Structure 1
Amino acid sequence: MQWLKSMCIGICLACMSHTALAGVVIGGTRVIHDSSRKEASISVINTEKTVPFLIQSWIENDKNNSKSPLIITPPLFRLDAGQENNLRIIYTGGQLPGDKESVFWMNIKSIPASKQSNSNQLQIAVKSRLKVFYRPTGLHGDSAEAYKALIFTRNGRHLKVNNPTPYHVSFFRVSVGGKEIKNAGMVAPQAELSWTLPDGAAGPVSWQAINDYGETSSPTSAPLQ
């Protein structure tokens, strides 16, 4: 099994190199844009001591290629070593629901500067994707408590969740009788989501969600209806 050990060591070293090359730290895992405010923002920090980066960012709609009503400024800039800058997310207007959240994807690509050299160089551009939630004012309920209002039902080999709230609920973990559902994803407001149950799954459903700050909620469980 020496080949397996060597391969694992190689993978670990590659991951360490990737982390060292990345160099740019984003100040959050998601952005909440409250409609009562003109803009939202998130920081990007270059943790390298000598290497500058080119930072490119843009926002995409969740499920289609139409133009997003949210823009990022600045969309392209140089971030010198040890420096920090803020990306500002601005709503430019357009038809968005007033009774529930809308979700978009923010893309942030960091491209390290290259040194002049006659030898071959490997450059790695790292792209991160973050969810941006546009939240209208006056929504009923509390976004931090929305995950507790979910309704789970079982239909044969499938588990269905209904979200009656106006907030998106991103799952950290969903399991039935201790058997975890992989890549549970996110259920949209006033919508449903369905998964195929793991083999032998029986008993109550338990789940945890991810809140506005990227933190994990306490576990919640309920019998299946």
Structure 2
Amino acid sequence: MMMKKTVLFLAGLLLNDAYGQLNFERSRIIFDAGQKNSQSLVVSNISADTPYLAQTWIENDRGEKVITPLAALPILQRINPKQEKQIKISFIGSGAELAPDRESLFFINILGLPPKGKESQSTVSIVIQSKIKVFYRPKGLPAYMLEIGGLFTLQC
């Protein structure tokens, strides 16, 4: 039993040598059409020496890729080590397919693609797809009420 624990511990140490990955400045985006026509999401590569490709697209609440009314640009970009880049989410189209009296839920997907391993090494590349909620608020919806320390403040 002790031998098995030792082998698992050593395997964990060897597998711990992992590449960095992409980080995001926030975990959700509220797209208020009454205030802005676009939102930006900052993506950071925290790796010290490995560049990543970031592929982005928008899905609706059923998991279907959409082209309108929201678009994420650029679709594909290289993010060098210790570098930050922006992904811009823009409102395109008329929005006629969206409910005018409530929020609509979308997801921005960011696929972090690591570089290909060297031919002489035995490596495993792990591709991570991150999904971030995007709440689209049409014009005319009332602002949220937010309570902070017993005081009410308005927040859109």
Report the TM-score when normalising by structure 1: 0.55
Letter in 1 for 2:111: K
Partner residue in 1 for 2:52: 53
Residue 117 (structure 1) shift: 3.0
Aligned residue type for 1:106: I
Contact 1:22 1:126 in 2 (8 A): no
* 1:11 CA drift (Å): 9.6
Task: Give 1:77 shift.
Answer: 0.7
| Corresponding residue number in structure 1 for 2:30 | 32
State the SS of the aligned residue for 2:19: helix
- The residue number in structure 2 matching 1:112 is 114
**Alpha-carbon spacing, 1:122–1:143, altered in 2? closer, same or farther (3 Å):** farther
Q: Give the 3 Å change call, closer, same or farther, for CA 119–108 of structure 1 in structure 2.
A: same
Contact 1:21 1:124 in 2 (8 A): no
Aligned length: 144
| Structure with more contact order per residue of length (Cα contacts < 8 Å, sep ≥ 6) | 2
Relative to structure 1, is the Cα distance of residues 12 and 137 closer, same or farther in structure 2, using a 3 angstrom cutoff? farther
1:33-62 deviations in Å (ceiling 9; x for gaps): 110311011100011111100111111010
Contact 2:19 2:50 in 1 (8 A): no
Of residues 81-90 and 3-12 in structure 1, the stretch that sits farther from structure 2 once superposed is: 3-12
User: Contact 2:20–2:48 (CA<8 Å) still a contact in 1?
Assistant: no
Supply the AA of the counterpart residue of 1:72.
Answer: A
What is the deviation of 1:141? 4.7
Looking at structure 2, the residues matched to 115 and 135 of structure 1 have their Cα atoms a distance apart, in angstroms, of 43
Gaps of 5+ in 2: 148-155
Distance 1:141 1:13 in 2: 50
- RMSD over equivalenced CA pairs, Å: 3.0
Cα distance in structure 1, aligned partners of 2:2 and 2:112: 36
User: Contact between 1:114 and 1:123, CA under 8 Å: does it hold in 2?
Assistant: yes
Equivalence for 2:135: 133
Residue of 19, 24, 35 corresponding to 1:21: 19
* TM-score, structure 2 as length reference: 0.76
- Unaligned runs of 5+ residues in structure 1 are 146-211, 213-225
* 1:91 correspondence with 2:88: no
Superposed CA deviations along residues 2-56 of structure 1, whole A, max 9, x for unmatched, are: 5896698589769955xx4242111110111110311011100011111100111
CA separation of 1:8/1:27 partners in 2, compared to 1, >3 Å: closer, same or farther? farther
Displacement of 1:120: 2.7
Cross-structure match for 1:205: none
Partners in 2 of 1:28 and 1:89 — Cα distance? 14
Q: Is the 8 A contact 1:40 1:90 kept in 2?
A: yes
Amino acid in structure 2 at the alignment position of 1:110: G
Q: Letter of the aligned partner of 1:39 in structure 2?
A: S
Q: CA 1:97–1:81 in 2, change beyond 3 Å: closer, same or farther?
A: same
The answer for the alignment partner of 2:151 in structure 1 is: none
Deviations 1:122-142 (A, max 9, x none): 111111111000012321251
